Amino acid sequence: MNTGKRMTRQRRIILDDIRKNRIHPTADEVYKSVRKRLPRISLGTVYRNLDLLARTGEIRKISIAGKQMRFDGDKSDHMHITCVRCGKLTDIPDDPRYCDVCRETLADSGFVLQSVSVELFGVCPDCREDEDEER
Amino acid sequence: MNTGKRMTRQRRIILDDIRKNRIHPTADEVYKSVRKRLPRISLGTVYRNLDLLARTGEIRKISIAGKQMRFDGDKSDHMHITCVRCGKLTDIPDDPRYCDVCRETLADSGFVLQSVSVELFGVCPDCREDEDEER
DNA sequence: TTACTTGCAAATCATTTGCAAACGT
DNA sequence: ACGTTTGCAAATGATTTGCAAGTAA
């Protein structure tokens, strides 16, 4: 946990909030939540700390094209699927076959693969139910 | 090509530019390029047309998390890899196995898969060469 | 004719940044 | 003591939007 940086009150509380808050919050949601404990904290500080914590690997940054950044206190290997109806982000287990497929795809392209980002979109079980009821 | 909308001079020239311009341009790059032929066109018009052309399927929108939108006149199935050194976007053939893997991953999650976006990042052949020379 | 489009400028929205004061080690 | 971090406010950058005038069908 020693990153060569200081563990300020703000940083500790932000980290704590993200670890407890299992909703993959946006920076703004973290800001709102943390303000209950630190009413004078600024949004800038939240952004700076989220960025720093992500760079030191204490949290994960989830970036999905065209959407706000989200943050995840769960560092274990897993992917996310976004519900196209309600927008909710759900954890799903990681599947190592993606990388295998990528590596094969790129085999004779001359590229050296560095990372793969897979974004899944679908309808979540709750929204599926609602859809069915509408019939 | 009939989309139920009007084919204005601006729209035709933007479409033409994207089809000829094989660089996966950003909206701003399209704007700069198209201004050679239409000096009074506005960036707003470029955005509106790129969006409309993407919605009617005449071009593809390439959205990569944290990056500007890019546009592709090549509608054939293919994916892209971003060079982490020079930022260049390169076409690579589509690999249908991604969807197979996704479908299996989600089999018992209750989700109905709608779409998958795979973003690859790596070092392109040109930048690899530069790296080697630096030794 | 008339609904769709344009150019322009201002607005939006998430995120970043400059700065002087405050703080952690 | 020192470099790091904070709160605040202003800046940024990409994209969107309101509006009155212009244009394709």
- B5 and B66 both lie in a single domain: yes
Nucleotide with minimal C1' distance from the CA of A46 is D6
Mutating which of B80, B83, B102, B106 best tests the A interface, going by the most A Cβ atoms within 10 A?
B102
Query: Looking at the predicted structure, is the pLDDT value of residue A117 above 50?
Result: yes
- A63 and A100 both lie in a single domain: no
Contact B98/A at CB under 8 A? yes
Exposure string over B117-135, b if 16+ CB within 10 A, otherwise e: bbbbebbbeebbeeeeeee
Query: Looking at the predicted structure, is the pLDDT value of residue A2 above 60?
Result: no
- A9 and A59 both lie in a single domain: yes
How many angstroms away from the CA of B51 is the closest CA of chain A? 14
Which of A40, A74, A108 is the last residue in one of the domains? A74
- B59 and B84 both lie in a single domain: no
Count of domains forming chain A = 2
pLDDT in tens, chain B (135 residues): 445 579 999 999 999 999 998 899 999 999 999 999 999 999 999 999 999 999 999 999 999 999 999 999 999 989 999 999 888 999 998 888 888 888 888 888 899 999 889 999 999 999 988 777 765
Rounded Cα–Cα distance for residues A124 and A88 (Å): 8
Rounded Cα–Cα distance for residues A123 and A125 (Å): 7
Give the per-residue pLDDT at A125. 94
Domain at B114, CATH number:
3.30.1490.190
Question: Is the separation of the CB atoms in A64 and A26 below 8 Å?
Answer: no
Give the per-residue pLDDT at B1. 43
Residues 60-89 of B with CB under 8 A from A: 63-66, 79, 81, 83-84
Question: Is the separation of the CB atoms in A100 and B98 below 8 Å?
Answer: no
Covered bases, chain D (protein CB within 7 Å):
3-10, 14-18, 23-25
What is the sign, positive or negative, of the torsion defined by CA atoms of B64, B67, B71, B74?
Answer: negative
Indicate the SS3 state at residue A90: strand
Q: Which residue is nearest to nucleotide D8 (CA to C1')?
A: A42
Give the per-residue pLDDT at B59. 96
Query: Looking at the predicted structure, is the pLDDT value of residue A86 above 80?
Result: yes
Between A46 and A99, where is the model more confident? A46
- B30 and B80 both lie in a single domain: no
What is the sign, positive or negative, of the torsion defined by CA atoms of B44, B49, B50, B51?
Answer: positive
Q: What is the mean pLDDT of residues A73-97?
A: 90
- A101 and A42 both lie in a single domain: no
- A70 and A82 both lie in a single domain: no
- B111 and B134 both lie in a single domain: yes
Give the per-residue pLDDT at A5. 80
Give the per-residue pLDDT at B57. 94
- B14 and B58 both lie in a single domain: yes
- A27 and A88 both lie in a single domain: no
Residues in chain A: 135
- B9 and B46 both lie in a single domain: yes
**What DSSP letter does each residue of B76-88 carry, written as one string?**
SSEEEEEETTT--
Which residue segment(s) compose the domain that A99 sits in? 76-135
Contact B108/A at CB under 8 A? no
User: Residue A30: is it exposed, middle or buried by C-beta count within 10 angstroms (0-12/13-18/19+)?
Assistant: buried
Instruction: Give the number of beta-carbon pairs within 8 Å between A and B.
Output: 119
Domain at A9, CATH number:
1.10.10.10
Which of B74, B99, B117 is the last residue in one of the domains? B74
Q: Is the CB of B21 under 7 A from strand C?
A: no
- B115 and B92 both lie in a single domain: yes
Q: Which residue is nearest to nucleotide D7 (CA to C1')?
A: A42
Give the per-residue pLDDT at B2. 46
Which of A25, A59, A74 is the last residue in one of the domains? A74
